[in-house]
Amino acid sequence: MSRTLVFAGNWKMHKAPADARSFFDEFLGRIAPAGDRRIIFFPPALAVPTAVEACSGRSDVEIGVQHIHWEELGAFTGEISAGMARAAGAQASLIGHSERRHLFGETVGETGKKLQAASRAGLLPVLCVGETIDERRADRAEQVVREQLEPLLDCLRGNGISRDRVMVAYEPVWAIGTGETASPDDAQEMHARIRALLDEVDAAHVPLLYGGSVKPENASVLLSGEDVDGVLVGGASLEPSSFARICDAR
Ligand code: PGA
């Protein structure tokens, strides 16, 4: 039986609501629903309602947010809560994306609180982990990834979140937006390590996505790794034609 592959698009700070609408007008015409493919978009929060409406009727396409706060409400200027995202139709949330960690100072402790907040509100958390180039050169990649995974392993040990509604994305920081991609062997090797850590908490089946300069040209070879269950795509998810080609990769 073929496995279900996940194709996720992280639009970062791109696309106002009208741009999201024109993206889906074209993209949904290019991609027919397929039982073995799950597609998730992470538009900027302001474009979420438009994206949700444009994709209604397509059960293979889900919409998520890029970021949430762990509190439900309060004096947190500029933030949105998991419950608000859910109420706007979002079904998932990225957590711990490297840009949040490195540009905005998100800590490992905060990612733990966000994992629980997402799960409580009924959002699928997609925890992003990955080492910097200095950490890789210092042979610390595995240790860094293990530390970043710890809040998730902790939640799973305590049954704080559902094993069936969570994903992990391995995104080496040096491969994000740089055109440098981890080799398929490097990606598979780290995915196998992440899988082994998840196995220790009976969660080996959690889907593992690879991210970092994924393009139509390299998606198939990256997905050939047996522990690579999908891709998280930034730049190449902004164009309907390029993301549709990625979603057709097998
Ligand atoms: P990229 O971004 O595909 O543009 O490298 C990936 C990501 O940051 O999720």
The alpha carbon of 158 and the centre of ligand 1 are apart by a number of angstroms equal to 31
Residue with the smallest CA separation from ligand 1 atom 7 is 234
pLDDT in tens, 185-213: 999 999 999 999 999 999 999 999 999 99
pLDDT value, residue 250: 82
Residue with the smallest CA separation from ligand 1 atom 3 is 234
What average pLDDT does the chain have? 96
pLDDT value, residue 168: 98
Catalytic position from the list 67, 135, 171, 191: 171
pLDDT value, residue 157: 93
Please, are residues 123 and 77 in contact by the beta-carbon 8 Å criterion?
no
pLDDT in tens, 81-120: 999 999 999 999 999 999 999 999 999 999 999 999 999 9
pLDDT value, residue 3: 86
Query: Which residue positions in the chain have pLDDT lower than 50?
Result: none
pLDDT value, residue 181: 87
pTM of the model: 0.97
Residue with the smallest CA separation from ligand 1 atom 6 is 234
Catalytic position from the list 97, 99, 106, 131: 97
Catalytic site includes residue 97: yes
